[in-house]
Structure 1
């Protein structure tokens, strides 16, 4: 596999009041361009910390994060993050929230008219152009997440990082937004890395699933390929043998890890 994003023997620890907390240890992972990778594991295994390292929001303690062979050591628009909380600015409209990112990244390379067209193109992509003049308080949780995704995509990131982006949504809204993300990935071919607790979500969306061991000093326990053709239909997958086999493999890993923790307590 050609390395587009590479985590090379990454460690992460935090020092507080003379005590060192080892969060991640020896993380090595290669992700190809255009790949959709999910990271799954029990609470406290360092999934979000790992995403923050890739985003450049947190420095590594050892090792390196490389994007196209360049070290990641600070935040940048080539690595856009969508959080579980949409993080929209409540005093701005939907249009203004996306335009803020577009103006930040493209102020010197796109004219005002081009920036306007680009904002609307990204709102169209997530089916939110009709709500461009509404403020966050006037739209639903699922719609807010769509706007958050549009804002992230509007920066034309090399990698889209998703930190449990559907976790706060009801089941039906979650399913619709999963389908929207599948469609965006198919159309744009972005490289996506997603943190999730949801096994079905991971199998539905991913090319590979990275399963983390429990912390402290969490490691990559297993990596599962999901050899299911895309586009994927969630109804058809409900009885698909490969889907069920992948789902079983992830559940077995998580169950065995959970049982290990209980036995140690």
Structure 2
């Protein structure tokens, strides 16, 4: 069966001042329609690079990304991206920030009245109908992220890309927004790929968690399937043995298995350098 989103043998190298940096090595991932995928790993492992390649913001050095049967070559409205920073235009109101994206995507396919109704529907979906005429400087950080999510969803993307969307928020606001995203994804059944550093967030929201090895030449180390029924309740899951087993599995990879891989690599480097040292002696 052909996957909805396919990342095939993706590599990424950056060149700077004649020095090549190998960031990603042989990334392979198949995502089904309606799946919620989280990518987790230590800082610098290339998580955001993977997301930006899927978004079409940067090119891979080799390999290919295929979405719904078409190769991804450039940015497009079929992939909307929500950043950790809300990225709202400060001179526009809440309504205007979302309407701008709606007009861009649906100007030819929807009438002005339909576009207005579509914009209002998505702002209501994230509970921001009360702040339509406020500017970003007049609302909280959590509200700004709600508007950013509404704008991304209003574009009706095939894949919603989230780059640590809750990372800059306080714990209570983050929990509320996570619940909102779960509710919306349950209603729309949209395909989501999210970058996170938060183990609990990944287990709570995801169908699968993709665990990255450390760079350079980072790759997918393990993929964990999360078999927890939906809708999910964070309070109930706190005492669920399976939830805690999944959480432990991710922590084990990040802090134990990853360290063993690094130690093995260091030993190999050390053993490779010994013959060279002996030859110089």
TM-score by length of structure 2 reads: 0.92
Q: Determine if the alignment matches structure 1 residue 95 to structure 2 residue 95.
A: yes
Task: Kindly report structure 1 stretches of 4+ aligned residues shifted beyond 3 Å.
Answer: 257-265
Contact preservation (8 Å) 1:214, 1:257: no
How far apart are the structure 1 equivalents of 2:257 and 2:115? Answer: 48
The residue number in structure 2 matching 1:240 is 240
- The answer as to whether partners of 1:86 and 1:148 remain within 8 angstroms in 2 is yes
Q: CA deviation at 1:218?
A: 0.3
| 1:132 aligned residue | 132
- Secondary structure of the corresponding residue to residue 227 of structure 1: coil
Query: What's the CA shift string for 1:134-160, capped at 9, x where partnerless?
Result: 000000000000000000000000000
SS at match of 2:7: strand
Instruction: Report if aligned partners of 1:126, 1:150 keep a CA contact under 8 Å in 2.
Output: yes
The count of aligned residue pairs is: 265
Instruction: List alignment gaps of at least 5 residues for structure 1.
Output: none
Partner of 2:188: 188
- SS of the residue corresponding to residue 100 of structure 2 reads helix
In the TM superposition, residue 2 of structure 1 has moved relative to its aligned partner by 4.2
- 2:270 — aligned with what? none
1:215 matches 2:215: yes
Q: How far does the alpha carbon of each residue in 1:168-207 deviate from its partner, in whole angstroms, 9 at most, with x for none? A: 0000000000000000000000000000000000000000
* Shift, 1:256, TM fit: 1.9
Cross-structure match for 1:104: 104
Deviation by residue 1:108-140 (Cα, 9 ceiling, x = unmatched):
111111110000000000000110000000000
Give the superposition deviation at 1:68: 1.2
Indicate the RMSD between aligned Cα atoms, in angstroms: 1.3
Alignment match, 1:50: 50
Deviation at 1:258, TM superposition (A): 5.4
CA separation in 1, counterparts of 2:140 and 2:257?
A: 36
Q: Which secondary structure does the structure 1 equivalent of 2:133 belong to?
A: coil
Matches within 5 A, 1:23-34: 23-34=23-34
Match of 1:199 in 2: 199
Matches of 2:20 and 2:151, distance apart in 1: 37
Query: Does residue 71 of structure 2 align to residue 62 of structure 1?
Result: no
Q: How far apart in 1 are the matches of 2:19 and 2:141?
A: 39
Aligned-pair distance for 1:97?
Answer: 0.2
CA contact (8 A) 1:213 1:257 kept: no
| Helix, strand or coil at the partner of 1:63 | strand
**Which runs of no fewer than 5 residues in structure 2 stay unpaired?**
268-281
Q: Which has the larger radius of gyration?
A: 2
Residue 175 of structure 1 is matched in structure 2 by 175
TM-score, normalization by structure 1: 0.98
- Alignment-derived partner of residue 77 in structure 1: 77
